[in-house]
Amino acid sequence: MKKLLLTNILLVALISFSFLHADEYITNQNIHYYPESTNKSDEYINERCILDVYYPKDIKNFATVVWFHGGGLTGGNKEIPEALKNKGICVVGVNYRLYPKVKSPKYIEDAAAAVAWVFKNIAIYGGNPDLIFVSGHSAGGYLTLMVGLDKSWLNKKGIDANNIAGLIPFSGHTITHFTVRQERGIPGTQPIVDSLAPLYHVRPDAPPLLLITGDRELEMLGRYEENAYLMRMMKVCGHKDTRLLELQGYDHGMTEPAFPLLIKEIERIKKLIFINR
């Protein structure tokens, strides 16, 4: 009876702590990630180039996920995905400029500016700059790969892309994005691999890369195969930590089963970082 009573007390305490822990998060909204001078000089940047920071109040040295929304580079808005809340991590939801108000590579410039802002500011919130991960769905996955593989974008902001702890794109284009091709009058069925394609920038020293897609038979046109090709070429060039997960039975909207895999990848890399220190 005493053992049962003690078990019940511990269970109640655990449940109470879980609810308490879930409430210990703060969201700071609509932070500009470009300098004030840039915001004043461009009305669309001032309106669109903002981010939200969702972070744990009483945890220090937490990991951070920079999350880029999807929408084909033509729509969508910043978000803090529900599945990433109350997980002991920070989530930074980013808005970026959209086509047709801007054309490539403006949205990639914005993605790089947002990631650079996180590197330069996350310690203020209690985060660990060595544990910054970049992720996003669809167009957001494309931006994740461009910022992480083509080092030139972050170099312009004074950040080494190799300092990203991990790249975890959800169903992102690895060829040149279909909206970029549309800007140029190229049909969506014509694959292009140029400097605006993540595949163009394969390199052995890139951050750990976890590619996640839906079922190849249910995904958007060629999306699984693009990611499989990127995985193969990363391995061929000598990258030691590229993996591809195909979520059987899920179409392009495959975020629900992918979010737990994102959390698991963060924990895996955290262990690797601390083991190697």
pLDDT in tens, 138-172: 999 999 999 999 999 999 999 999 999 999 999 99
The overall average pLDDT reported for the chain is 93
User: Rounded to an integer, what distance in angstroms lies between the CA atom of residue 48 and that of residue 20?
Assistant: 34
- How much is the pLDDT for 23? 59
Q: Given pLDDT bands bounded at 50, 70 and 90, which one contains residue 12?
A: very low
- How much is the pLDDT for 266? 98
Residue 34 has pLDDT above 90, yes or no: yes
DSSP-assigned letter for residue 57: S
Token look-up 């590619």 returns 211
Residue 22 has pLDDT above 90, yes or no: no
User: Rounded to an integer, what distance in angstroms lies between the CA atom of residue 179 and that of residue 240?
Assistant: 31
What would you report as the CA-atom Rg of the chain, rounded to the nearest whole angstrom?
20
As given in the structure block, the two tokens for residue 235 are: 């391995």
Better-scored residue on pLDDT, 9 or 163: 163
Q: Given pLDDT bands bounded at 50, 70 and 90, which one contains residue 8?
A: very low
- How much is the pLDDT for 274? 78
Return phi, psi of residue 234, to 5°.
-65, -40
DSSP-assigned letter for residue 83: G
Residue 21 has pLDDT above 50, yes or no: no
Task: Give residue 214's identity as a one-letter amino acid code.
Answer: G
User: Rounded to an integer, what distance in angstroms lies between the CA atom of residue 266 and that of residue 216?
Assistant: 25
User: Rounded to an integer, what distance in angstroms lies between the CA atom of residue 131 and that of residue 221?
Assistant: 33
Percentages helix, strand, coil for the chain, rounded to the nearest 5? 45, 20, 35
The domains found in the chain, sorted by start residue, are 27-275 (3.40.50.1820)
Which stretch of DSSP H or E encloses residue 224?
helix 223-236
Q: With beta carbons less than 8 A apart as the criterion, state whether 207 and 215 touch.
A: no
pLDDT exceeding 90 applies to what percent of the chain?
Answer: 90
DSSP-assigned letter for residue 176: S
As given in the structure block, the two tokens for residue 204 are: 């052995």
- What's the whole-number mean pLDDT along residues 246-265? 98
As given in the structure block, the two tokens for residue 66 are: 């920079």
- How much is the pLDDT for 232? 98
Q: What is the strand order of the sheet 242-247 is part of?
A: 25-32, 50-56, 90-94, 62-68, 127-137, 166-170, 209-214, 242-247
pLDDT in tens, 215-230: 999 999 999 999 999 9
DSSP-assigned letter for residue 243: E
Residue 15 has pLDDT above 60, yes or no: no
Q: Which of 15-19, 51-55, 147-151 has the lowest mean pLDDT?
A: 15-19
Q: Which of 215, 221, 274 is nearest to 250 (CA)?
A: 215
Q: With beta carbons less than 8 A apart as the criterion, state whether 231 and 191 touch.
A: no
Token look-up 């995905």 returns 81
Better-scored residue on pLDDT, 158 or 8: 158
- How much is the pLDDT for 7? 40
User: Rounded to an integer, what distance in angstroms lies between the CA atom of residue 206 and that of residue 165?
Assistant: 10
Residue 213 has pLDDT above 70, yes or no: yes
Residue 90 has pLDDT above 70, yes or no: yes
Residue 14 has pLDDT above 90, yes or no: no
Task: Specify the pTM.
Answer: 0.91
As given in the structure block, the two tokens for residue 260 are: 């737990």
Residue 9 has pLDDT above 80, yes or no: no
- How much is the pLDDT for 83? 98
Q: Given pLDDT bands bounded at 50, 70 and 90, which one contains residue 277?
A: low
